[in-house]
């Protein structure tokens, strides 16, 4: 949270008065994170994301009250969960447990960690 808070404070110091901090989507429901046999989301990952998002919401509330202007929380989790988990067919999706491209459909999207590249 320190990086996000520092970033918002720096933006505020530069004159920004409207800032949107988004949470994370249900990462455990990405195709590469779903259980290979059942296709179910990896709940342990989603639990971590929900805890992280709660921290972001708390940070947003604190910064909004402290800095003036408007700092808001963008809820990405709920919308993506509706599409990927609750009822994908309502949104026209037939296969949410596989990726859209590549040969396997499971590993075409993932996390990328690289700093200073």
DSSP string, 51-104: HHHHHHHHHHHHHHHHH-SEEEEE-HHHHHHIIIII-GGGGT-S--SS-SSTTT
The count of structural domains within the chain is: 1
Give domain status of residue 35, yes or no. Answer: yes
Give domain status of residue 109, yes or no. Answer: no
Instruction: Report the alpha-carbon distance of residue 77 to residue 22 in Å, rounded.
Output: 9
Whole-number pLDDT of residue 100: 66
What is the domain range of residue 33? 1-91
Q: What is the pLDDT of residues 71-114, one digit of tens each?
A: 999 999 998 888 877 888 888 888 777 776 655 555 555 555 44
Is-above-0.75 flag for pTM?
A: yes
80 or 53, which is more confident: 53
Instruction: Report the alpha-carbon distance of residue 84 to residue 30 in Å, rounded.
Output: 9
Residue 116 banded pLDDT, cuts 50, 70, 90: very low
């Amino acid at each position: 949270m320190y990086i996000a808070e520092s970033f918002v404070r720096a933006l505020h110091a530069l004159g920004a008065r409207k800032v949107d901090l988004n949470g994370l989507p249900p990462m455990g429901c990405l195709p590469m994170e779903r259980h290979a046999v059942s296709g179910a989301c990896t709940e342990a990952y989603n639990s971590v994301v929900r805890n992280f998002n709660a921290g972001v919401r708390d940070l947003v509330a604190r910064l909004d009250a402290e800095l003036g202007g408007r700092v808001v929380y963008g809820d990405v989790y709920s919308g993506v969960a509706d599409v990927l988990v609750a009822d994908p067919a309502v949104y026209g999706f037939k296969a949410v447990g596989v990726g859209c491209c590549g040969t396997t459909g499971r590993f075409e999207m993932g996390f990328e960690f690289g700093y200073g590249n």
